[in-house]
Structure 1
Amino acid sequence: MQFSLWLALVGAGAMISLTPGAGAINTMSNALTSGFRRSFWGILGQQVALVIHVVIVAAGVGILVSQTPVLFMLIRYVGAAYLVYLGIRQLLAKPVKNDGGDSPAALESGFSMFRRGLWVNLLNPKAIVFFLAFMPQFIRPDEPLLPQYVILTITVVVIDIIVMWFVFAAGAKQLKHLTASEHGQLVLNRIFGVLFIVVGALLALV
């Protein structure tokens, strides 16, 4: 891949990652409830889903998904329902009692955050359709394909990790003081619960 083309890929990847979506909401929620460092588990799950999307598109399965309305709608509504489920669960979550005055201890396992991050990104058929439109701009068919796909995947994943961890997760740290009180936790649970539900509704309706 030419250096100028790679720079264009970096710019496009950064713009995509900085666009708020379910992954950003999930990352911020994890950072607030489990801490900045442990939020990386959820980010890692999201990246595995991203790699799967790239593989699906590169293998040609993405075209099948995008051109099969029933399959596309099925994945779409399952993904939307999962986001709504996460939102409802967040709304119903009870605050963690904290007698010491610090933020509540992390209760969720890393695997649980990883699994949720995986499903949040994986159950988004629009990501597959997006990569179908995005990837060909940076792939040259007259050159070896595998090295190009590898470079594209590594670049997009690294950029997304940086943005998710050092922009959204780090940004959530500014609200971390709210988790020290039960009232603050309830407020945050309601905010992120509503955000998950809104994003799920948009995925289903728009």
Structure 2
Amino acid sequence: MSLEVWALFVLTESLLCLTPGPAVLFVVAQALTRGAAASGWATLGILAGNALYFALSATGLGAVLLASYELFSLVRWLGAAYLIWLGVRALAGRRAARSLAPGPTGAAGRRRTFVNGFVLQTANPKALLFFVALLPQFIEPTGHVAVQVLVLAVTSVAIELVVLLAYGAAAGRLHALAVNPRFARLADGVAGAMLVTAGVGVAAVRRS
């Protein structure tokens, strides 16, 4: 892989990460309702999902998933249903939103937030499309594919880590206002609406 190709990947990945999608909306929703720390665990779960997709891309299994209409549709609808479920729970009220993932102070709460992020990303058809349709454009078939995938994986994780943590930190500043019941209800409503919107967007994804 040439330096020019890698630089183009950095630019492309940065733009994609900065564009709000299901992962960004989920992280922001976590930060609004639980604080920046919770969004950090959500970020780690999302990145773990990306790591899985990079591994699938390296083995070619990702292409099999995309080629199968049934499997792709299953991933798409599971991802959409999961996001909408989280959004509806948040819209149901402050207490319901808190029950999505207990606060990050306990190990169980951190684990559940991590798992929520992981499930969300692995069930996100947009992520599947990226890793199967876009990622190969940056890989030179005559080179060592596994090494190139590893380089792109590390680059992608580093970029998305910074971007998602920044989104979480920014939204987390508003969490301090959650002591106000009115703002807390507003935060839950905004978070729920974002997640439902993301779910509808995922449901609308089609294979190219």
Query: Is the pair's TM-score, using the shorter chain for normalization, greater than 0.5?
Result: yes
SS of the residue 1:20 aligns to: coil
| Bigger helix fraction | 2
Q: Deviations over 1:15-37 (max 9, x none)?
A: 11111011111111222333223
Instruction: Call closer, same or farther: CA 1:56–1:94 in 2, change over 3 Å.
Output: same
SS of the residue 2:142 aligns to: coil
Q: What is the match of residue 100 of structure 2?
A: none
| Bigger Rg, which one | 1
SS of the residue 2:94 aligns to: coil
CA distance in structure 2 between the aligned counterparts of 1:5 and 1:177, rounded to whole angstroms: 43
1:158 Cα deviation from its structure 2 partner? 0.6
Q: Deviations over 1:50-76 (max 9, x none)?
A: 111122222222222222111111111
Q: What is the match of residue 193 of structure 1?
A: 192
For the 8 Å contact 1:38–1:110, the answer to whether it is kept is: yes
Instruction: List gaps (5 residues or longer) in structure 2.
Output: 97-102
For the 8 Å contact 2:29–2:195, the answer to whether it is kept is: no
TM-score (norm 1): 0.88
Q: What is the match of residue 13 of structure 2?
A: 13
Q: What is the match of residue 99 of structure 2?
A: none
Are positions 1:90 and 2:112 aligned together?
no
Instruction: Give RMSD over aligned pairs.
Output: 1.9
Q: Deviations over 1:160-187 (max 9, x none)?
A: 0000002x11220342343121110100
SS of the residue 2:36 aligns to: coil
Q: What is the match of residue 154 of structure 2?
A: 154
Q: Deviations over 1:73-117 (max 9, x none)?
A: 111111111001000111113359xxxxxxxx7567111110110
1:9 Cα deviation from its structure 2 partner? 1.4
TM-score (norm 2): 0.87
The sequence identity of aligned pairs, in percent, is 30
For the 8 Å contact 1:18–1:163, the answer to whether it is kept is: yes
Instruction: Call closer, same or farther: CA 1:147–1:41 in 2, change over 3 Å.
Output: same
Q: What is the match of residue 169 of structure 2?
A: 170
Residue identity opposite 1:193 in structure 2: G
Instruction: List gaps (5 residues or longer) in structure 1.
Output: 97-104
1:19-98 maps to which residues of 2 (within 5 A)? 19-94=19-94
The count of corresponding residues between Structure 1 and Structure 2 is 197
